[in-house]
């Protein structure tokens, strides 16, 4: 009986495989046209792509929400995903310099080649902050072209969403109207939320924060916060005891009492500094999905703003 069931299942499985092979080679009717295959390097970009693409797209993120987006663990499966992509959305400004180029080269997909309509570079159109005047890559600094952590400014997200809608419409013209309609509703939602977030943070203008990496400068600029120090001496370079001693002195002088960390950063280092300065360490992920229940850009930002407001209020 068991053997028979197993055999039946196996036969059914083989048949299903064969059928899927046939389906893939047969021309697909327009009504059942496959979804646009969109690959985003990071979960935040993927979240925005889903808002704009709706049911017409199938979105995959390469980086995990809990991973440092500068240092995503490149896997062979990423090459397959990129090979099948119709569209690739990357952050740009060298955010993915350490891992994306070799994957792209191996994927051999002209649709997402540099300059193709299927290639979207989010940093294009963004006014980057902290563009260095001189730069020495040998020192390990990973922000060579300016700060690439610009998605936590909602106004930057509107610019990026506009670019995504434009490219989607170009690659998939039959759904152009859908993409434009989704963009319009996304933008009005961002506007509404931005007003709400600004209201929540308005009482804390000038509030001081310390971050592990230089990853909150766009939020600070948008909402009038002040980044006093970073635990890393330079972006991508691990904190040294000498640098941390300077950070502690600066925090005491400025009376900064909030340290923000990401899931992949060394929380114990932050805790050590917090103990010596009377600060609190806040886990505020910048990627949707890093925290349960915060799976979209909006819920991630809701959590970020309310957690900061709570900390500044001193509750
Ligand atoms: Zn960075």
User: How far is residue 259's CA from residue 210's CA, in Å, rounded to a whole number?
Assistant: 5
User: How far is residue 130's CA from residue 266's CA, in Å, rounded to a whole number?
Assistant: 24
Distance 128 CA to ligand 1 centre (A): 12
Lowest mean pLDDT among 22-31, 83-92, 290-299: 22-31
Distance 64 CA to ligand 1 centre (A): 16
Distance 315 CA to ligand 1 centre (A): 30
State pLDDT tens for residues 288-314.
999 999 999 999 999 999 999 999 998
Instruction: Please compute the mean of the pLDDT values over residues 106-133 and round it to a whole number.
Output: 96
Distance 17 CA to ligand 1 centre (A): 44
Instruction: Please compute the mean of the pLDDT values over residues 37-53 and round it to a whole number.
Output: 98
Looking up tokens 């990627």 gives 287
Residue 211, strand partner residues: 230, 260
Give the residue among 229, 187, 195 at the shortest CA–CA distance from 212.
Answer: 229
Instruction: Please compute the mean of the pLDDT values over residues 175-192 and round it to a whole number.
Output: 98
Instruction: Please compute the mean of the pLDDT values over residues 160-181 and round it to a whole number.
Output: 98
Instruction: Look up residue 51 and give its two tokens.
Output: 């808002």
Distance 212 CA to ligand 1 centre (A): 10
Distance 149 CA to ligand 1 centre (A): 6
Distance 40 CA to ligand 1 centre (A): 17
Identify whether the C-beta of residue 153 lies closer than 8 Å to the C-beta of residue 222: yes
State pLDDT tens for residues 202-255.
999 999 999 999 999 999 999 999 999 999 999 999 999 999 999 999 999 999
- The highest-confidence range among 2-6, 23-27, 186-190, by mean pLDDT, is 186-190
Distance 148 CA to ligand 1 centre (A): 6
Distance 213 CA to ligand 1 centre (A): 6
Distance 302 CA to ligand 1 centre (A): 22
Q: How would you classify residue 168: left for phi > 0, otherwise alpha for psi between -120 and 50, otherwise beta? A: alpha
pLDDT at 171 over 70: yes
Q: Say what the pLDDT of residue 15 is.
A: 37
The neighbour count for residue 77, using CB atoms within 10 Å, is 9
Distance 56 CA to ligand 1 centre (A): 32
Distance 68 CA to ligand 1 centre (A): 9
Distance 218 CA to ligand 1 centre (A): 12
Distance 262 CA to ligand 1 centre (A): 11
Q: Say what the pLDDT of residue 31 is.
A: 57
Q: Which phi and psi (to 5°) does residue 279 adopt?
A: -95, 165
Task: Give pTM, 2 decimals.
Answer: 0.89
Query: Please, what is the Cα angle at 82 between 142 and 18, to 5 degrees?
Result: 155
Q: What percent of the chain has pLDDT over 90?
A: 86
Distance 214 CA to ligand 1 centre (A): 6
Q: Say what the pLDDT of residue 210 is.
A: 98
Distance 215 CA to ligand 1 centre (A): 6
pLDDT at 126 over 80: yes
Distance 251 CA to ligand 1 centre (A): 22
Q: Do you know the residue count of the chain?
A: 315
Q: Say what the pLDDT of residue 6 is.
A: 38
The terminus-to-terminus CA distance of the chain in angstroms comes to: 64
Q: Per-residue DSSP letters for 244-282?
A: HHHHHHHHHHHT--EEEE-TTS-HHHHHHHHHHHT-EEE
Q: Say what the pLDDT of residue 315 is.
A: 55
């Amino acid at each position: 009986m068991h053997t028979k069931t197993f055999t039946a299942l196996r036969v059914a499985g083989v048949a299903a495989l064969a059928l899927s092979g046939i389906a893939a080679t047969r021309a697909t009717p327009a009504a059942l046209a496959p979804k646009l295959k969109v690959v985003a390097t990071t979960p935040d970009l993927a979240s925005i792509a889903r808002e704009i693409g709706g049911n017409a797209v199938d979105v995959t993120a390469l980086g995990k929400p809990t991973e440092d987006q500068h240092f995503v663990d490149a896997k062979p499966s990423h090459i397959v995903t990129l090979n099948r992509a119709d569209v690739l959305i990357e952050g740009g400004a060298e955010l993915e310099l350490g891992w994306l180029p070799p994957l792209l080269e191996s994927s051999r997909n002209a649709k997402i080649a540099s300059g193709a309509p299927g290639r979207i570079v989010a940093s294009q159109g963004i006014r980057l902050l902290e563009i260095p005047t001189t730069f020495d890559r040998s020192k390990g600094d990973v922000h060579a072209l300016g700060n690439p952590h610009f998605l936590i400014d909602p106004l930057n997200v509107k610019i990026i969403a506009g670019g995504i809608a434009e490219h989607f419409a170009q690659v998939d013209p039959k759904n152009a109207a859908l993409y434009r309609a989704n963009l319009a509703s996304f933008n009005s939602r961002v506007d509404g939320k931005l007003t709400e977030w600004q209201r929540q943070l308005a009482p804390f203008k000038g509030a001081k924060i310390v971050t592990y990496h230089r990853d909150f400068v766009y939020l600070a600029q948008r909402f009038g916060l002040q980044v006093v120090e970073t635990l890393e001496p330079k972006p991508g370079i691990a904190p040294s005891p000498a640098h941390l001693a300077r950070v502690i002195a600066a925090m005491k002088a400025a009376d900064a009492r909030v340290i923000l960390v990401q899931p992949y950063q060394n929380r114990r280092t932050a805790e050590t500094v917090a103990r010596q300065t009377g600060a609190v360490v806040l886990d505020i992920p910048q990627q949707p999905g890093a925290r349960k229940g915060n799976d979209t850009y909006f819920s991630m930002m809701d959590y970020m703003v309310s957690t900061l407001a709570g900390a500044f209020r001193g509750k």
